[in-house]
A = this chain, B = another copy of it.
Amino acid sequence: MLDFTPRDPNYATRVHSSFDRQQVMAWIGAKLTHLAPGHCEITLPHKPDLTQQHGYIHGGIIGTIGDTAAGYAAYTLMPHDASVLTVEYKMNIMAPGDGELLIARGEVIRAGRSLVVARADVYAVKAGKETHCASLLQTLMTMHGKADE
C-alpha cells in the first residue's frame, strides 16, 4: 500500500542531524534509538524533573516524544531539501508515564505530497515490562524547498 521507499537515500543522516539540533531533546534526555523509512523510535529515561503532581512523567512530555517520533517517521520520507512541520496531533493517555523509561514508536500511515499522516504509540517500561501508555494521531506538512538547516 504505502511506498516506504525514501526519496532521499541519505534520510538517516538528515533526520539525525535535525534531531541533534532540537535542544529540547538533549535537555529532557531523549535519544533517537531506531530509524527506518516511515518509522522512528525515541527513548526517554525517567527523570524527576519531568514529572507531574503524582510523580509520573507529565502528559505534555509524553506528547513531546510522541510528536517527535511521528514527526521524524514522516521526515524519513521527505525530499532532502524539505523540512517538516507539525500541523496538529491528538493524543490519548491511557496509563501513567510510570517506570524507568518511555519508548515512543512513530510510523507513517499516509504519505501525500504535502501532507503526511502518522501515528505514534508510547510505552512505559517498568521492571522491563511495557505498558501502552499513549496513542497519537498526527498531521505533518512537508515544507518543500526549505531545507532543515
Residues of A within 8 A of B (CB): 1, 18-19, 21-24, 27, 48-54, 58-61, 63-68, 83, 85-95, 109-110, 112, 114-115, 117, 119, 132, 135, 137, 139, 141, 148-149
> Contacts of A50 on B, CB cut-off 8 Å?
23-24, 27
- Asked if A53 meets B115 with Cβ closer than 8 Å, knowing A67-B63, A94-B110, A139-B92, the reply is no
> Contacts of A27 on B, CB cut-off 8 Å?
49-50
State A89–B60 Cα separation when bound (angstroms).
10
- Asked if A49 meets B68 with Cβ closer than 8 Å, knowing A63-B60, A119-B135, the reply is no
State A149–B54 Cα separation when bound (angstroms).
8
Judging by beta carbons under 8 Å apart, are B141 and A115 in contact?
A: yes
A119 nearest CB across to chain B (Å): 7
